[in-house]
Structures are given as C-alpha cells and as structure tokens.
Amino acid sequence: MKLALAAIGLSAFILLPWFTSTYVISLAFALFLTAALAQSYDWVGGHLGYMNLGHAAFFGIGAYTFGIVFARGGGLPLAWTAAVLLPAAAALLMSYPFFRLRGAYFALATFGLVALLERLAGNLVGLTRGSEGLTIPTGYRLYPAYYTLLALCAALTLATWWLSRSRVGLALVAIREDEDAVGAYGVAPFRFKCGTLVASAAVAGLVGAVYTWQITYITPGDIFSLEKAVGPVVIAMIGGSGTVLGPLVGALLIEVIREFLRFKTQYLALTVYGIMLILVGLFIPGGLMRLRRR
C-alpha cells in the first residue's frame, strides 16, 4: 500500500509540469530544494545524533564551486562533479577535529564554519565576485532543475529508507544512543561518523549546484544566510528527525507557510521557525511523524 502511494505521488510530480503553470513549478522546485537539504542534514542530525548547524556551508561550497567552474567555461559535467567532490573533501578534512566535539560544542563549531565561509566568499573577489554576486550564463532551466531535484528527493528518500533498515543505520542509532558503549563493543564510531558526514555534504553540494544553475545569481549573504543554516535543522525536527518521511513533511509544511507569508518571508522566516519549534516541543515532541505513535 505504501509503495503504491509512493508511486502515485512520484508519477503526479513527474506529470505536474504538463498541467500546471510556471508559478506552481517554481513552488515545487523550492519544496524539493528544502526537502533535499533537510533530508541530507538528517543523516547526521537525526540518525547519527550530531546537530550539524554547518550544513549550509556544504551547500554554499557546492553552489559557489558550480558557479565558478561553469562561469569560466568548465562545462556542466565538470561543474556538477566539482560541486559534489569539493564539499565531500571539505567534510572529510573537518571530520576528525569536529567529531572530537560533542553536543552543543559540535553545533557551535559547525555554525562558525558557515560564518567563516561567508566572510571568505565576500573577500575572495577574484573568485566569487564578493558582495557584487556571482553570475553564470543565463538560460531557462526551471524544468530541467525541477526534474533534477525531483529525482534527487526520490533517491534520498529511498536511501534514507534503506539506511533505517540496514546495519549501517543500526550502527548510527547505536552511536547516537551511547557512543562510548559502541566503541567498547568493537565498532569504530569515527568511520561511520565520517562516512555519514561526507555523504551528507556531497548531497548538500549537489543541491547548491542545482540552486545556482537555476537562479543564475548568488551572493554570500544569500548562500550562507542564517535561514539556510538553521532551516534544515528546524524542518527535520518539525517533521520528525530520524524518520524517513519526517524531513519531507516538515519541508512541505514550511513551504506552505512561506507561500502564505510570501510578501514578508525574509523578515518572518526565522520568527516562524522559532514559533513552530516551540509548539512542536510543547505538544508534539519528536515531530509530526511520531504523532501517530503517541
């Protein structure tokens, strides 16, 4: 039954551009973008138990890497590849020092990474164009970008479903519950933590590349904004962090609210995030996907 519903939903999204307006496709694109970021964040935040407030850093690295390579004539295949590999390499390099921290210390350290990269993007004018913004060759790419993110969201959902039922997922949950005990039983926690962070960063970099490809113009203040830093965390927690469909449900709810407040989103987004987190914490601990269990 669940598989049939998933197939029907996927088919509906595949056929959506044939029957709706560009406005609706733009909304769906924003929904897929938000959902992909929240789902990739939740591998580390929900399944592994490390609140990564620096997920926007990998998104930004991917966005700027794609934009720089593509704007300089590197071609799409090279730009896509670089946008995935560079965030993954950055995650690999930072994994050892950052995973020596736990709890709030890890969250603060990763959040500082976002602020650092925003400053670097603003000062490396020769590469990023600084505060003027980086522009890539324009073109009408809404529909290709829509289908790219749709395929990515479907793949991420399948990957998360597999993770929740695999030995790897069991190891991540065990690390989340008691990392010291896992190490005492012969499991190498760092290997699982490092691999999860690298995979999460690679997906975030790809999402950033699709974002740049579609928007064609990015600035440090937009890419490394506070909203993009805390957005995936809030969305996953609202939907149900550590569940398969939680980030998707949270993304849908947030995008509906954003559209309702579309004329004041830039001022109210963080306020709405805070209010919803308080409400979820008071009345639905664990998120919407765990409401049925309660």
3-state secondary structure the chain: CHHHHHHHHHHHHHHHHHHCCHHHHHHHHHHHHHHHHHHHHHHHHHHHCCCCCCHHHHHHHHHHHHHHHHHCCCCHHHHHHHHHHHHHHHHHHHHHHHCCCCCHHHHHHHHHHHHHHHHHHHHCHHHHCHHHCEECCCCCCHHHHHHHHHHHHHHHHHHHHHHHHCHHHHHHHHHHHCHHHHHHCCCCHHHHHHHHHHHHHHHHHHHHHHHHHHHCEECHHHHCCHHHHHHHHHHHHHHCCCCCCHHHHHHHHHHHHHHHCCCCHHHHHHHHHHHHHHHHHHHCCCCHHHCCCC
Can you give the pLDDT at residue 260? 75
Per-residue confidence in pLDDT tens, the chain, 294 aa: 667 777 777 788 888 888 888 888 999 999 999 999 999 999 999 899 898 989 999 999 999 999 999 998 888 899 999 999 999 999 999 998 999 888 888 988 999 999 999 999 988 888 888 888 899 888 788 899 999 999 999 999 999 999 988 888 888 988 888 887 877 777 788 899 999 999 999 999 999 999 999 998 999 988 998 888 888 888 898 888 888 888 998 899 888 887 777 655 556 666 777 777 777 777 777 778 777 555
Residue 211: the pLDDT is 95
Q: What six digits make up the tokens of 194?
A: 């490092």
CATH, domain range 22-290? 1.10.3470
Domain positions in the chain: 22-290
Q: Length of the chain in residues, anyone?
A: 294
Q: Look at residue 125 in the predicted model and tell me its pLDDT.
A: 86
**Whose CA is closest to 137, among 214, 29, 30?**
214
Q: What does pTM read for this prediction?
A: 0.92
Token pair for residue 68?
């720089």
Specify whether the CB–CB gap between 30 and 210 falls below 8 A.
no
How high is the pLDDT of residue 129? 86
* pLDDT at res. 21: 84
